[in-house]
Copies of this chain bind each other. A is one copy, B any other.
Amino acid sequence: MNLNSLQKLGYGMYIIGSYKGEKLNAQIANTVFQITSEPPTVAVSINKNNLTHEYIKASRVFSASILCQAAPLPYIGSFGFKSGRDVDKLANVNYKIGETKAPVVLDHATAYLEAEVTQDVDVGTHTIFIGRIVAAEVLTEDVCMTYDYYHQVKRGTTPKTAPSYIAEAKGGNK
């Protein structure tokens, strides 16, 4: 079988925020999706090794900022290839504390939502957090970034901790 077919699945690009006690963190994710409309519910898949995973487990909330197509690659990289255990990812970023108390990143975001976790689904290396939306705002009408654009135009790469990481990205058959 040719797992390159997985690279044809469509996604957006998001910054997921959460907190634990006084500590805040945020990370890049591409797997945010609406799963029911009534009540409005979304899900996100997060690697168990990520600090944001620990924070969502603790606070039971997360935010998702939806990135615009113009978001610069270094900006995206600062949320995706560094751990909040080593650096304060929010040090030089505009954000606000949302209704859920999770940080909501505002730079290069066209919209955001905040959710309270109602179910954790253990899927091995990752957890799917399912959350009911408790806050949502549109910020701009800028074009949203797709995961495909990030790869094809921005030449962005995917960390090993992502659900969509493929070891031999151009290698083909496995």
Contacts and interface: CB of A to CB of B under 8 A. Distances in A.
A41 interface: yes
Contacts of A163: 33-37
B124 A39 contact: yes
A163 B41 CA distance: 9
Interface string A121-147: 101111010100111111000001111
A49 interface: no
A146 B2 CA distance: 21
A31 interface: yes
Q: How many copies does the complex hold?
A: 2
A126 B133 CA distance: 16
A70 interface: no
Contact of A1 (B3, B124, B135, B166): B135
Given A2-B136, A34-B31, A164-B34, A41 B8 contact: no
Contact of A5 (B35, B137, B147): B137
B10 A40 contact: no
A6 interface: yes
A148 interface: yes
Interface stretch (A19-27, A51-59, A84-92, A105-113): A105-113
Nearest to A158: B37
Interface of A: 1-6, 8-13, 31-43, 45, 66, 110-113, 119, 121, 123-126, 128, 130, 133-138, 144-148, 162-167
